[in-house]
């Protein structure tokens, strides 16, 4: 699990001091969120170099506009919003051909039929130490539509509440839940055959044995 966020009070005090001129404290303020901002940018841009650049820019903008931050909201949520805006803006600039639909054209009534009902053999977390497993998981994640990647990362990777995720994305809590269900089930479908395929290139057991076994 990621390290817990600083307390709201500590953070508010820190922000107050930065706003009053102790700008070097900004490093302390953002330190717990470096990974989070990078992951958010990576979720949208799907490229490590672009994501790092966008993350740096997001931090610069956060510093520049820190005076506009209102302490009644959480800094982490505000920062994520800044990061999402920066990454989306960069995505539009670099790939203007990718048009995000204004209206969600997909059926979001929550119905999603899994493709594979076979027994799921659990992938242990230790498998993440293997680079090829992590790359496979990231590739599966990257193949989801952006709206599913965004909500999945906010909720299941960054552990935002449903309400905060809805606020950050500007959608209803109901839409968050619907997209989250689809994202989780799609990933489940994507991972089963995908990871199964890895075993062929790694002689770690009988044919068909998953590499994390």
Give the separation between CA 192 and CA 16, rounded to whole angstroms: 49
Nearest alpha carbon to residue 190 among 110, 116, 107: 116
Site for other proteins in 57-96 (CB under 8 A): 59-60, 63-64
Q: Position of tokens 């330190």?
A: 31
139 binds other proteins (CB under 8 A): no
Please provide the distance, in angstroms rounded to a whole number, between the alpha carbons at the two ends of the chain: 23
Residues 170-199 that bind other proteins (CB under 8 A): 177, 180-181, 184-185, 187-188, 191-192
Nearer residue to other proteins within complex by CB, 2 or 16? 2
Contacts of 188 (CB under 8 A, 6+ apart): 114, 116, 120
Could you tell me how many residues of this chain bind other proteins (CB under 8 A)? 54
Residues in the chain: 213
- Closest CB to other proteins among residues 88, 184: 184
Q: Which of 15-48 are b and which e, b meaning 16 or more Cβ less than 10 Å from the residue's Cβ? A: beebeeeeeebbeebbebbeebbbbbbbbbbbee
- As a whole number of angstroms, the distance between CA 180 and CA 195 comes to 22
Tokens of 120: 């799921």
Of the pair 61, 88, the CB lying nearest other proteins is at: 61
**Which residue of 141, 144, 160, 165 would you call a contact of other proteins, by CB under 8 A?**
141
**According to the binding rule CB under 8 A, does residue 132 interact with other proteins?**
no
The answer to whether residue 38 forms part of the interface with other proteins (CB under 8 A) is yes
Among the candidate windows 68-76, 82-90, 94-102, 135-143, which touches other proteins by CB under 8 A?
135-143
Residue from 112, 143, 194, 198 touching other proteins (CB under 8 A): that is 112
Q: Give yes or no for residue 44 binding other proteins (CB under 8 A).
A: no
Q: How far is CA 195 from CA 116, 130, 154, in A?
A: 14, 12, 24
Residues near other proteins, by CB under 8 A: 1-2, 21-24, 26-27, 34-35, 38-39, 42, 48, 52, 55-56, 59-60, 63-64, 110-114, 117-120, 122-123, 125, 127-129, 134, 137-138, 141, 152, 156-157, 159, 162, 177, 180-181, 184-185, 187-188, 191-192
């Amino acid at each position: 699990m990621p390290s817990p966020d600083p307390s709201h009070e500590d953070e508010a005090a820190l922000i107050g001091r930065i706003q009053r001129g102790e700008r070097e404290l900004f490093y302390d303020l953002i330190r717990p969120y470096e990974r989070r901002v990078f992951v958010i940018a990576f979720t949208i841009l799907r490229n490590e170099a672009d994501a790092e650049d966008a993350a740096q820019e997001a931090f610069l903008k956060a510093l520049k506009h820190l005076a506009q931050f209102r302490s009644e909201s959480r800094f982490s949520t505000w920062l994520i919003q800044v990061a999402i805006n920066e990454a989306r803006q960069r995505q539009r600039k670099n790939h203007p051909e990718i048009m995000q639909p204004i209206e969600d054209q997909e059926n979001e009534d929550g119905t999603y039929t899994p493709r594979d009902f076979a027994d799921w053999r659990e992938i242990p977390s230790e498998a993440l130490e293997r680079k090829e497993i992590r790359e496979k998981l990231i590739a599966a994640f990257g193949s989801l539509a952006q709206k599913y990647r965004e909500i999945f990362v906010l909720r299941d990777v960054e552990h935002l509440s449903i309400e905060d995720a809805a606020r950050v994305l500007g959608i209803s809590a109901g839409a968050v839940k619907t997209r989250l269900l689809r994202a989780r089930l799609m990933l489940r479908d994507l991972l089963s055959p995908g990871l199964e395929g890895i075993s062929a290139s790694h002689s770690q057991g009988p044919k068909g044995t998953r590499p994390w076994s």
